[in-house]
Each structure stands twice: as C-alpha cells, then as structure tokens.
Structure 1
Amino acid sequence: MAPPHRYEAQDSDIRRPSRRTLLTGASALAAAGALGAAGCSRVDTGDLLERLRAQGVVRLGIAGEIPFGYIDKNGDLTGEAPELAKVVFKRLGIDRVQPVPTEFGSLIPGLNSQQFDVVSAGMYINAERCEQVLFADPDYQMLDAFIVRKGNPKGLHSYKDVVEKKAKFATGTGYAEIAYAVEAGYKESDILIVPDQVAGLNAVEAGRVDVFAGTALTTRSVVRKSAKAESTKPFAPLVKGKPHIDGGGFAFRLTETRLRDAFNAELAKMKKSGEVFRILKPFGFTQDEMTDMTAKELCRG
C-alpha cells in the first residue's frame, strides 16, 4: 500500500490533524515493548496462534492511515483492516485486538522485532516485502491516483506525465509510489517524502509540489472537502513496462505460517459470502476494489 498514513481527519477539516493517534513513533514502540513484556513472552517460540488464543488478545500494528487502520476521534480503533481483523481473529478464538500505532516505515521492523503480532494496515504486497514478511491473501485491490491543484493545470495523469512535465512530485513515507515514480524516470532524490496523504494534500494546496501520489481510495477521500485540490482518475502504474494492480493485506512474521494459513482460511470464507465487502464498504471501498488475487501472485512482482 501505499499504503499507505498517520493522522486522524476530522469531518470539519480533513486537512488538519486534530490530535495525535494513541501512540506514535518511538513512544509506540516503547509502549508496545512494555505491553509485550507484561502480557506475553516476546521470545518467538512455540505456536503463536495458540498463545494468542490463551492470551485472548492480538496486537495489531497500524499506521494511522485513513481508511486502512487508525484511531478515530473517540479514541477507538477502526479502519478497514482492524475491522476485518476483529471478525477474523474472533473466529480464530481470539476475542480482543489491541492497536500499536507506529510510522508506516516502521511496520515491518516492528513486526519482526515482535513489537506487535500482525501488521493490520492494508499494506501493499510486493516482492521486496515478501522477502521480509509473510502475507495473507489481499483483502482489496487498488489503483493509484494523484492529488493535484483544481483543474489539474499541468495535465498530470501518470508517472510518465510527471517526468515529462518536470512536475514537483511528493508521496508518503515507505509508499510503493516511490518505486513507480523512479521506474518512470523520476530521480528518487528529488521526491519530496511526506508523512501521509494529509501532508501531501497540504503540500499541493500550498504550491510546494505539483502532485502527490497515493492510492485511489486515499486520494479521493482526502480531497473531498478541499477547495484547492482534486484527485485524478485512477490508473495502473507500470511495473517492468506492464500495467500493475496492487493488492493490500495483513502481514505476519515469516515463521508464522500456521497463523497466516488459519487467517487465510477465514478470509476466503468471508470473501465468498460477501462479508469482506460489507466490512470494507463503509470505508469507501467499491465492489471493483474487491479481489480474488493471491499473495503468491503479488509476491512474484
């Protein structure tokens, strides 16, 4: 994903971070460590699924990105991935989910250092990440889109356009869109990296950049109340010269095959029944963004 990350948007002003999420950055990792020490062994031995069942709680790594996984204005955990996680883990015999917010770029390191048990942030599945973590099958598929000034004055509809028109380009920390821009010929050192889509919108509105790249879902959500910016029509970025559709899902440590397989089995049932779409729809997902792709396909790149 671009997944994609860090602020809660208020209905009254989607551009303004109203308050920090429950925990962020280093404080999130420190608090998670304390929780782990108090509530469970942090040594990765035995069967994690059985340990989680015994504890009755699973720790979810989230990145504060609307609509994927975030703490809302009431202090409650929500987002497409956490809401899906609540149902799946309940059916696996784990009654509670506990959020551990961190920066998007810290999700995989935090997972592998056992700061939390699962990444629940709608993370895009790609070959590089598949070398570091074990993915469940994607629960959604997604195209890219840009945030641009109203009227799209530079006519930016693809990464190729960004390169050819020498546009000032921004995207988020750890986003897959960095690689897509570089593949199109944009110099990586010239990319402005911002924390999330809200910061990207602010950069476009202020004229610091011409374009911010993110997922079609997050860009259309964040510009909804903007008087100065709009999102472009979704498009498939080129990977190795071919149009590419991303898929996002849950990530597990490489050793946790049993937990991932149990999760996948429940997810497959929910896809077949239409329950996945019913859970994701309130967060802006459409039927076109449901998917039957597998993690294996996406890991091939």
Structure 2
Amino acid sequence: MKKTLIAVAGMLAMTSAVSAESWDTIRVGVDAPYPPFEYRAPDGELTGFEIELGNEVCQIVSGNDCEWVVQAWDGIIPGLLARKYDMIFSSMSINEERQKRVLFSDPYYTTPSAFFAPDGNGFNPDSSDGKRVGVQRATIQDTYVTEFLTDAEVVRYTTADDMIVDLQGGRLDAMFIDAPVGIEMLEGNDEVSQVGDFIKEPTRIFGEGVGAAFRKRDTALEEQVSAALEQLKNDGTYDTIMQKYFDIDIKL
C-alpha cells in the first residue's frame, strides 16, 4: 500500500510538472501610442505605465522583460487568438462581451472615461444631435457612444493620436476616451477641456477593471500573471510605477 501511495504521488508530481508551463519569453500585444499607458520615448523605445508594469510581471514569470508586439486595437483580440502573442497587456477592460472570447487575469487598475471638447463649442453629451463624436474603434467608449448618443455622428479611429489631431483641427465636436489618456494627450492645450463628469457605468460596458487577456486554454499563464500582479502590489512596486505616471490612484 505504501509503495502504491508513493507511486501515485510520484505520478501526480510528474503530471503537475508537465502541466505547469514555463516561459523564457512572453510575447505581449499592446496598442501604442496610448499615453500614459504605452507610448514611444524619443529614442523609439516603448515606455509607459503598462510597459513598465508588464516588464515587471514578465520578469517574475519568465525572468526576462516582455517581448512587446504593437497591434492596432481593432485587431488586438484576433491577434491573440491567431497566436501572434501570448497575452494582451493594453488597458483592456474586463466585460461580459470580451469574456466570451478571452480569459482575463485579476484586474490591475480601473480608470474612468470622459468627454473632451473644444472650449465654447457648446457640446453636451446629453444633447448631441448632429455632433461629430470621436472614439477609438472597438473600444468600450465606442460601445457606449453608439448605444447612448444615438443622435450623434460617431467617428471611429484606429489610433487615439489620429482622433486628437482631428479634435484639435476642428473636425470633431468632441471625443470620448479613457480620462487619463485624454488629460495626458491634451496637456498644455488651453483650448480643449473635459466636458461633464467621469463615466464608469454601466458595468456591462465598462466592466470591473482592466486585466491582462489570454487565450481561454492558457490558464497556467493567467494564474502566473495574476500572482505576479499581486506580488507587485504587495511589495510596493506597483505604487512606485503608478505614481510615476498618474496624479490619481488607479489601483483597484
């Protein structure tokens, strides 16, 4: 009996070792530029809150920085499913629609969305008849505006950069975007301001925070990433990185 138990224990240990994946490099999909979360520094290197946090996660899980793969947002989930990268670490809100397609880590931050408009143009999200409102394609902001601003003309962009150029050039009446991104991109522009309050509801659209996304079968990697995020929050690394990029607390 004792030998049998030892043999069974050995088999379980071997099975566990086989099922626990090890990673030398983790390829990570990211939509850039999207400051302050991810953008290129003057030397061309990717930087930002999620780049720094993601590299810390990858160091814990694999011993190396992430291998970053830049991907336009509207193709970021298809790219994951096509195995172009192993996870998405790019401000992806956890909501019911996305959970049908991908597996999420524990959430690692939450942030509101907000409307931004040129001063004095009279834009009001509660009365937007005929107004041109910009959103980044396939985002939660796109979903929200499409559902709730039915009298507006929704203009969809591949990148937030292009949307802001059109807002500043007078080709949009307003844009709807993650609040920290709008604040960062419009810093120093005295002619554009936030309109109305921060928006984080309804939960079915905005979700309950931002998480890393994985293919549904990659449960081992999700567990390791979630554990790494928890470790970084507990040891103070998360707060150090967050305070470098934000004046508000975005931690859940």
Match of 1:182 among 128, 135, 146: 146
Given the superposition, is the C-alpha separation of residues 236 and 110 from structure 1 closer, same or farther in structure 2, using an over 3 Å criterion?
A: same
Post-superposition Cα deviations, 1:82-124, rounded to whole Å, max 9, x if no partner, equal 2112112211233132111110111111111100111121211
Matched, 1:216 2:185: no
* CA RMSD in angstroms, aligned pairs only: 2.5
Matched, 1:197 2:160: yes
What SS does the aligned partner of 1:266 have? helix
What SS does the aligned partner of 1:141 have? coil
Alignment match, 1:35: none
Alignment match, 1:121: 90
Given the superposition, is the C-alpha separation of residues 239 and 166 from structure 1 closer, same or farther in structure 2, using an over 3 Å criterion?
A: farther
2:94 and 2:207 in contact (8 A); partners too? no
Alignment match, 2:241: 279
2:107 and 2:210 in contact (8 A); partners too? yes
Q: 1:117 and 1:243 mapped to 2: Cα distance?
A: 25
Post-superposition Cα deviations, 1:8-58, rounded to whole Å, max 9, x if no partner, equal xxxxxxxxxxxxxxxxxxxxxxxxxxxxxxxxxxxxxx86831x2xxx221
Post-superposition Cα deviations, 1:123-168, rounded to whole Å, max 9, x if no partner, equal 11111111111111221111111120024x3153xx4343xx5422
Alignment match, 1:251: 213
Q: Shift of the alpha carbon at 1:236?
A: 1.9
What SS does the aligned partner of 1:57 have? coil
Given the superposition, is the C-alpha separation of residues 94 and 273 from structure 1 closer, same or farther in structure 2, using an over 3 Å criterion?
A: closer
Q: Shift of the alpha carbon at 1:263?
A: 1.1
What SS does the aligned partner of 1:258 have? helix
Q: 2:180 and 2:90 mapped to 1: Cα distance?
A: 14
Match of 2:70 among 77, 84, 101: 101
Letter in 1 for 2:126: K
What SS does the aligned partner of 2:91 have? strand
Normalised by the length of structure 1, the TM-score is 0.70
Match of 1:266 among 222, 228, 236: 228
Q: 1:201 and 1:239 mapped to 2: Cα distance?
A: 25
Given the superposition, is the C-alpha separation of residues 243 and 130 from structure 1 closer, same or farther in structure 2, using an over 3 Å criterion?
A: closer
- Any residues of structure 2 matched to 1:1-301 within 5 Å, and which? 49-50=21-22, 52=23, 56-64=24-32, 65-151=34-120, 153-156=121-124, 159-162=125-128, 165-186=129-150, 190-232=153-195, 234-239=197-202, 247-284=209-246, 286-287=248-249, 289-291=250-252
Q: Shift of the alpha carbon at 1:230?
A: 2.2
Given the superposition, is the C-alpha separation of residues 245 and 257 from structure 1 closer, same or farther in structure 2, using an over 3 Å criterion?
A: closer
Normalised by the length of structure 2, the TM-score is 0.83
Q: Shift of the alpha carbon at 1:66?
A: 1.6
Provide runs of 4+ in structure 1 moved above 6 Å. Answer: none
Q: Shift of the alpha carbon at 1:219?
A: 0.6
Q: 1:263 and 1:192 mapped to 2: Cα distance?
A: 35
Q: 1:167 and 1:210 mapped to 2: Cα distance?
A: 6
Q: 1:47 and 1:78 mapped to 2: Cα distance?
A: 33
Q: Shift of the alpha carbon at 1:237?
A: 4.6
Given the superposition, is the C-alpha separation of residues 185 and 201 from structure 1 closer, same or farther in structure 2, using an over 3 Å criterion?
A: closer
Larger Rg: 2
Post-superposition Cα deviations, 1:198-250, rounded to whole Å, max 9, x if no partner, equal 2222222222221100011001111112243223354225428x996652221
Aligned length: 234
Structure 1 unaligned runs (5+)?
Answer: 1-45, 292-301
Given the superposition, is the C-alpha separation of residues 48 and 221 from structure 1 closer, same or farther in structure 2, using an over 3 Å criterion?
A: farther
Q: 1:187 and 1:256 mapped to 2: Cα distance?
A: 42
What SS does the aligned partner of 1:249 have? coil
